[in-house]
Structure 1
């Protein structure tokens, strides 16, 4: 029995029971699963983009808090993640993943959104906001990937996703959190299944061979309100990533280092993350 697959489905059942819609749509021939929750607020729709090996389930504990402030909360599973089918698209896996995300926003969201991206999802959110600014009212980057790193740091980061032994799985899990929850540590060996899929392997292999990173100009030209959140307990991405974004983000961007946040605050500190997002939206008159 696939324990983690069963737990993912259990989380989905709980969300659906609480009023979240779980849907699968065709986006340019790719099957994409996403959650949608109608909100009570007047703010624009929120689009939540997860990171490498993650899924929309990781944002599940933020949906209801965000729904109080915004008109709709939308969280897609990137191709090959969560409940979306495996997909890479030849030798340019990262770009094809991004194109699916871009087409999903155009097809299903259909209006400028408050886009929140974590890790790889943060890098994709930057590309969306830079290349298609008409779809992004405001942008929040939560421990985003995409910074240009020295080859040794980039290689070490990508190699960290190759978890083989139970000890390596537990060590990797600890790097994701400010304080790793006991259940996550107990299930660490099962969690490594998320990083052993064909899509995740293809993404890391492409990044390893081409040293993918965002262009500084793509970051500098972001014209919409931007909030950059970095965890005081960030242990997955090197601190050089924070320095790189600080050097290239536009002057109007807000940069906050938040104590108690690790790499995935949406899982560990969901209410605090929602508070940061709502305060930023209020200050940005969204």
Structure 2
């Protein structure tokens, strides 16, 4: 990692440490996962936060610090090939990435958690809730990936991630926000390098070993679930939202808030944290 994004990520890590978070590496050499962990003893609940494709847990710092008020513990792992986690020499596949994540979560989750996932992290959160239902008390999905896509829909997502120039990078960043941030003009070129990494592109290959969710699987989701799909979502195709709307159980609460893009944890972390906490503490 080089450049402004690398410097910013390291500054965030230092800032989170100053706020009581630990920066932890775990697992075998070559497949170590980096995690931010926060613990303050007995508290209301444990939050586990899963990031999306091409980003990292540091990007969730504004959300993580706001969740501390109601948290006994916060766990924010970084997927293989992302952030400070290792990129295995043999490459990264979707199935391997999820298996390593599930192995880690199995080891660290002691009591049922509020599991939060955005984008790819949302898909993995659903998969984990199905694989280990006793470890998840509530599920929060923010613009989750994982829905079956038409060939045109998948091709559209691949085009968005096919960032070759600084202008492409600026356009990609703009898609993540309700109001595109000014700093996209500073880091557009770096986004091209970040998204060209093998760990990222392996998820976008037509031959990627990605298994979308099925309607039957959605029907088996047991924990109370909140799905947030912002009205300013511009990265994932609307066909994904419509599929979730058609196939999610009636017990799943689906909301389409105004002012939410693909990355509300960056743009409006206070509003997002407030909505997560209200859902986490309300009675079923």
Sort the TM-score into its range (normalised by shorter chain): over 0.9
Rounded Cα–Cα distance in structure 2 between residues aligned with 1:77 and 1:211? 19
- The residue that corresponds to 1:19 in the other structure is 20
Query: Which whole-Å deviations, capped at 9, do the CAs of 1:244-282 have from their partners, x for residues lacking one?
Result: 111111111100101111001111110100011011012
- 1:43 deviation in Å? 2.5
Which structure 2 residues correspond to residues 193-272 of structure 1 after superposition, within 5 A? 193-205=193-205, 212-272=211-271
Aligned residues: 283
Instruction: Look up the SS of the partner of 2:256 in the other structure.
Output: strand
Partner SS state of residue 144, structure 1: coil
How far apart, in 2, do the equivalents of 1:39 and 1:235 lie? 37
Cα shift readout 1:215-265 (whole Å, capped 9, x = no counterpart): 221111101100000111000011111111111111111001011110011
TM-score (norm 2): 0.93
Return 5+ residue gaps in structure 2 as ranges. none
Query: 1:188 deviation in Å?
Result: 1.7
| 2:71 match | 70
Deviation per CA, 1:134-159: give whole Å up to 9, x if none: 22111000000011111111111122
Q: Is the 8 A contact 1:40 1:69 kept in 2?
A: no
Moved more, 191-200 or 147-156: 191-200
Rounded to whole Å, the distance in 1 between the matches of 2:234 and 2:180 is 12
CA contact (8 A) 1:49 1:125 kept: yes
Q: Is the 8 Å Cα contact of residues 30 and 86 (structure 2) preserved in structure 1?
A: no
Question: Does the CA-based 8 Å contact 1:39-1:69 persist in structure 2?
Answer: no
Q: Does the 8 Å CA contact 2:153/2:239 hold for their aligned counterparts?
A: no
Moved more, 250-259 or 107-116: 107-116
Could you list the per-position Cα deviations for residues 88-142 of structure 1 after superposition, in whole angstroms to 9, with x for gaps in the alignment? 866x811111111111111123332110000000000010011221221110000
Matching residue of 1:31: 32
Query: Are positions 1:47 and 2:55 aligned together?
Result: no
Cα distance between partner residues in 2 of 1:50 and 1:83: 13
Query: What TM-score does the superposition give when structure 1 sets the normalisation length?
Result: 0.93
Asked if the contact 1:79/1:88 (under 8 Å) is kept, the reply is no
Task: Give the CA deviation at 1:27.
Answer: 5.8
For the residue of structure 2 that corresponds to 1:35, the secondary structure is strand
Matches within 5 A, 1:36-115: 36-39=37-40, 42-87=43-88, 93-115=93-115
Alpha-carbon separation, structure 2, partners of 1:283 and 1:261: 22
Alignment CA distance shift 1:13-1:226 (3 Å): same
Contact 2:32 2:85 in 1 (8 A): yes
**CA separation of 1:38 and 1:211: change in aligned 2, threshold 3 A:** closer
Query: Which secondary structure does the structure 2 equivalent of 1:30 belong to?
Result: coil
The corresponding residue for 1:276 is 275
Q: Aligned-pair distance for 1:208?
A: 5.2
Deviates more, 1:76-85 or 1:151-160: 151-160
Distance in 2 separating the partners of 1:233 and 1:89: 37
5+ long unaligned stretches in structure 1: none
Q: 1:75-224 alignment to 2 at 5 Å?
A: 75-87=76-88, 93-205=93-205, 212-224=211-223
CA deviation profile, 1:149-204 (whole Å, cap 9, x unmatched) = 11111111122111001111111111011112111332122123221111111121
